[in-house]
Structure 1
């Protein structure tokens, strides 16, 4: 894992598979962020085929979410599956907080797939002022993970079995130098334009943050309550690549890419299978070691530092998010 030859071999030789047809999700509530396009949409379609009670698509654009809901419904959605579209903008702490309040009102929440993200190839700032990849892929994802956690824990205690929280990462977390790790404040350094790097390096760095966040969150949450993991969906055809202008990605997709549907299979497999895992990194539909940096002492130090810095940002910038209360859950 981690090198180009390993990447190419896995993409050529492994073909992701859907869940077994008899795997039932009856009675459960599943929530997918970014479930209106790409891998998230394919994951949603796969989930629906296993008949949960409720599937919630959490999306930035509700109109586009409704289009996705209609598309799913047309593909023979069982009549007993309740499909809902909820608004959620990772670039608005007010939106995330309102979403969190809505989640807490759910009678149950069994599975959450945090799939929403982007790959911005040039330096830009989000509405909240942070570098865009950092805001959406790390800060937004992390705050949403904290918002859904109480509902997942409540459901686990009511059902006497663990709920599941899966964060979408990338094999690209193996491939970046992560020079920001030596800065006095890692996240502040990542906001600076001269630290952005070239092409996909910033995207991959935020995917490394996803792995570190998932591992630290898992270390603070009991496995009997919520199984927390990170997943690499593989290199797939997806709208994620829309900002890449050189044509290199198209060439690599032609040579190595999995279909969007196959990527969706990987996400669903990570979300509902592998119940004996916790704080794990999944790739090719199995638990594998993350990068050497993640497992190193330096990586463990960076993991705790990023956790602390992230909470400092939330306390300062998201006062309505009840950070102290959320922190008490971990």
Structure 2
């Protein structure tokens, strides 16, 4: 199988990538008659935006069991009520998950392990972008870095054994991590920092756009190494870019009214609809098979990772990211979990 690691890095300018992604590529929908009846899915941040739209699309394919993993149970229940009205035959539950809390992430993963008899799809959609430097008190990490990278990768690792054990009979479960085309434009200004992670927690280094881009790029680096431990026969893990979409809450933290209006206007004029954006997640989970394991999916196709990852310097940083991640997750036994996935 030819995956993202095996492709030549793209030499196309990001401007052209953005144009093609937004205006020229066509959605790939599940084939007519596709049914996922009897299957179960988890969507983090599934109460709004692209997560909610992905839920709609999976339920439209006759998904039997859906868990909306959300920070606010009240907002989750409101979203679930709307989904239940549209799909009364499906079982839809709301489970609390705070991506700013390692305790909450561990409790959620344990609940998945102990309470679910089957799990077919996980879409890790929860993410954020802040305009100002904010620290998560319980971890002392900058919030974008915490949610988009650290918490998402920890949850990935903790869910893997359950997905392997309780995936569909005779085929692997799917875990899709929401990514961004902006990883291809990331400047990663702190990439030479050693150790690396403390630099993300430095307010002098913080830049809302670059921190967001780099937080997503780190997930590419993590996946580069993760496939050394996780077989596509056990769990298919991939990254999916929805492109720039209108009608989402990604910019909810923007407080400057002029900037917020400008971003909304840009989204209206260039953005994909939430339906098309979320179809990228559904495609990664339902349409794609083992060939997508360890891959970055953009415009419904396997795409190279950011060019930096293929360089000698990039390989050094990949190793640094992996080791610092394992050290960060030592409290949760991440190394032993991943070693167990190899056996």
TM interval, shorter chain, is over 0.9
The residue number in structure 2 matching 1:229 is 238
TM-score by length of structure 2 reads 0.89
**Structure 2 counterpart of 1:309, from 324, 328, 332:** 324
| Worse-matched range after superposition: 122-131 or 135-144 | 122-131
Indicate the SS of the match to 1:56. Answer: strand
Give a deviation string over 1:166-217, Cα, whole Å, max 9, x none: 11110111112112221111111111111112x4111111011122222322
Q: Is the 8 A contact 1:2 1:174 kept in 2?
A: no
**Structure 2 counterpart of 1:201, from 200, 205, 210:** 210
Indicate the SS of the match to 1:91. Answer: coil
Q: Which runs of 5+ in 1 are unaligned?
A: none
The 5-angstrom pairing of residues 1-330 of structure 1 reads: 3-74=14-85, 76-79=86-89, 81-105=90-114, 106-127=116-137, 128-156=139-167, 159-197=169-207, 199-237=208-246, 238-244=248-254, 245=256, 246=259, 247-275=261-289, 276-315=291-330, 319=331, 321-323=332-334, 325-330=336-341
Indicate the SS of the match to 2:288. Answer: coil
CA RMSD of aligned residues (A): 1.7
Q: Is the 8 A contact 1:215 1:229 kept in 2?
A: no
Q: Is the 8 A contact 1:32 1:113 kept in 2?
A: yes
TM-score by length of structure 1 reads 0.92
Distance (Å, rounded) in 2 between the aligned partners of 1:101 and 1:280: 27
